[in-house]
């Protein structure tokens, strides 16, 4: 077990966003979290990286157990160095070139020499097909290109797990494909462990090793992509899928 998360809870101003959420992640897993907006999936992901501090719950990571609510600064820094985060709106450093975005976590964050970081950075940019744009600033890149650099920034630090927070939600429809393609190849060719919050059902069906359906701050149902998409047990899951994938459900009803 790479990561074992137990009993995560979180409230904002008295509103309970997460209620006792558990999750287990193995090496090489691609866990896709689905759910309607406001279900707490993004908050859950952010709690794993301490971008949000959970009110309760534990995380066991590489055999080390820690309390999410009271982790020391050092423990938080350690977790952040072993994980990476890909943001919905990319959050590339606006004053850094694509390559500098990728290498900053290596040089400043991990004390790797500039020359070595540059090599790692260029390799990461190549994996996402952005090598030719290495010297471009984010303002000179399209949304899809920025997100690919965001992914390169995440893989460059060789994290044990990459957390994707709706990586394609801010993109124009025609740019979604290039980003999903990159994620798919990372999962299938590089075997990178990922937790992905997304609304891209096709990606979930094709790539996920494990699908988690969340609603109202709880895990309603989880299982393989096949389980969730073809034989959802819970009414709440069926209702959600029907709204998101009406064609498929009408088809299934006819067959």
Partner 1 sequence: MELDWEFMEETLPKVWAGAGVTMELTLLSLLLALPIGFYLAVIRLHGCKTLQGIVRSYVSFVRGTPIVLQILLLYSLLPSVLNVLVQAMGWQINIFEAVDPFWYAVVVFTINTVALLAEVFRSALNSIPRGQMEAGLAIGLSSLQVYLRVIIPQAMVVAMPSICNITVNLVKGTSLAFLMTVKDIMAIGKIAASFGYNYLEAYIDVFFVYLVLCTIIQIFYHLVEGRIGAFRGKRA
Interface residues toward partner 1, by CB under 8 A: 49-51, 77, 80-81, 83-85, 87, 89, 91-97, 104-105, 108-110, 137-140, 153-154, 157
In whole angstroms, how close is the CB of 142 to partner 1 at the nearest point? 13
List beta partners, residue 23.
5
Question: Judged by CB, which is closer to partner 1: 75, or 218?
Answer: 75
Question: Judged by CB, which is closer to partner 1: 50, or 213?
Answer: 50
In whole angstroms, how close is the CB of 156 to partner 1 at the nearest point? 9
In whole angstroms, how close is the CB of 49 to partner 1 at the nearest point? 6
SS in 3 state form for the chain? CCEEEEEEEEEECCEEEEEEEEEEECCCCEEEEECCCCCCHHHHHHHHCCCCCCCEEEEEECCEEEECCCCCHHHHHHHHHHEEEECCCCCCCCCCCHHHHHHHHHHHHHCCCHHHHHHHHHHHHHHCCCHHHCCCCHHHCCHHHHHHHHHHHHHHCCCCEEEEECCCCCCCHHHHHHHHHHHHHHHHHCCCCEEEECCCHHHHHHHCCEEEEEECCEEEEEECHHHHHHCCCCHHHHHHHHHHCHHHHHHHHHC
List beta partners, residue 8.
21
Question: Judged by CB, which is closer to partner 1: 112, or 207?
Answer: 112
Cα 60 to Cα 66: distance, rounded to the nearest angstrom: 6
Question: Judged by CB, which is closer to partner 1: 148, or 153?
Answer: 153
List beta partners, residue 132.
none
Question: Judged by CB, which is closer to partner 1: 137, or 249?
Answer: 137
Cα 243 to Cα 249: distance, rounded to the nearest angstrom: 9
In whole angstroms, how close is the CB of 67 to partner 1 at the nearest point? 19
Question: Judged by CB, which is closer to partner 1: 170, or 218?
Answer: 170
In whole angstroms, how close is the CB of 160 to partner 1 at the nearest point? 13
In whole angstroms, how close is the CB of 135 to partner 1 at the nearest point? 11
In whole angstroms, how close is the CB of 177 to partner 1 at the nearest point? 24
Question: Judged by CB, which is closer to partner 1: 23, or 84?
Answer: 84
């Amino acid at each position: 077990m790479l990561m074992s998360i137990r009993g995560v809870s979180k409230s904002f101003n008295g509103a309970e966003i997460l209620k006792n959420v558990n999750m287990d992640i193995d090496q090489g897993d691609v866990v896709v979290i689905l759910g309607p907006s406001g279900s707490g999936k993004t908050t859950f992901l952010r709690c794993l990286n301490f971008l949000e501090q959970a009110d309760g719950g534990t995380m066991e990571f590489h055999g080390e157990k820690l309390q999410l609510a009271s982790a020391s600064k050092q423990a938080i820094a350690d977790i952040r160095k072993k994980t990476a985060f890909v943001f919905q709106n990319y959050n590339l450093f606006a004053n850094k070139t694509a390559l500098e975005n990728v290498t900053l976590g290596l040089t400043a964050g991990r004390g790797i020499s500039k020359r070595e970081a540059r090599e790692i950075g260029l390799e990461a940019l190549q994996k996402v097909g952005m090598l030719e744009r290495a010297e471009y600033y984010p303002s000179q890149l399209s949304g899809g290109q920025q997100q690919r650099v965001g992914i390169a920034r995440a893989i460059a630090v060789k994290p044990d797990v990459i957390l994707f927070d709706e990586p394609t939600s801010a993109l124009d429809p025609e740019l979604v494909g290039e980003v999903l393609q990159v994620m798919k190849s990372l999962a299938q060719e590089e075997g990178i462990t990922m937790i992905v919050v997304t609304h891209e059902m096709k990606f979930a069906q094709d790539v996920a090793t494990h699908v988690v359906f969340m609603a109202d701050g709880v895990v309603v149902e989880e299982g393989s992509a096949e389980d969730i998409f073809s034989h959802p047990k819970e009414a709440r899951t069926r209702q959600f899928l029907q709204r998101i994938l009406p064609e498929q459900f009408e088809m299934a009803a006819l067959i």
